[in-house]
Amino acid sequence: MKSKLTAVTLAAIVVAGTAAAALPASAAVKAAPTRCHTADLKAGFALGDDAKPEMGQTDKQTQAYIWFTNKSTRTCTLSGFAGVDMVGAQKTDGTWSLARSSKAPAKLVLEKGDTVDFGITLLPVAASTPKAQKFVPAKFLVTPPNETAHFTLTWPFGGQILKQDAATHPGTFVDPIGQ
């Protein structure tokens, strides 16, 4: 009885080993990509004519866009909101951490070289607006979702924004990555 059980067990091992060896490499389970880290990315403002905010008008909100490109050799994911702190040009401006929109974020997969952007809604004001009521952007400190290291981007568009850094629902805010 013992030798029959051993033979059946041995046959099962041989069959299992043969089946495993017969699987093509493409059938191997691939690990899901992990999140993108700041070091995996590069960032900048979208500068195309259709992407520039209309900072000269003061009748309505306008949008600026910041992009992230996966510069690493691996696939990674981004999901959520970037942290965006505007640093002002006026001594009275200080730093303004932008609020988030109510839009729901999606999980995005970035292959090597893929780019995704997100919008920043801005509420421009006239140059004649009193200094205490306007924020003049100089630099943007942009932190990818779930990261602590940031990119420092110089604001290329000029203009000024209605200062609402303490407002509950400011006219200047950030949308999620990919929106």
d(CA 173, CA 179) in angstroms, rounded, equals 13
Residue 25: inside a domain = no
Residue 13 is predicted with a pLDDT of 43
Residue 4: inside a domain = no
Residue 1: inside a domain = no
Q: What is the pTM of this model?
A: 0.82
Residue 15: inside a domain = no
Residue 18: inside a domain = no
C-alpha angle 72-74-75 in degrees, rounded to nearest 5: 110
User: What three-state secondary structure class fits 8?
Assistant: helix
Residue 49: inside a domain = yes
d(CA 111, CA 89) in angstroms, rounded, equals 37
Residue 26 is predicted with a pLDDT of 55
- The domain spanning residue 48 has which CATH number? 2.60.40
Enter the DSSP assignment of 50.
T
Residue 70 is predicted with a pLDDT of 98
Burial of 88 (0-12, 13-18, 19+ CB in 10 A): buried
Residue 119: inside a domain = yes
**34 CB neighbour count, 10 Å cutoff:** 11
Close Cβ partners of 30 (under 8 Å, ≥ 6 residues apart): none
Q: Name residues of the chain where pLDDT drops below 70.
A: 1-29
Domain of 38? 34-174
d(CA 178, CA 118) in angstroms, rounded, equals 5
Residue 165: inside a domain = yes
The number of domains in the chain is: 1
Residue 152 is predicted with a pLDDT of 98
Give Cα 31 to chain centroid, integer Å: 22
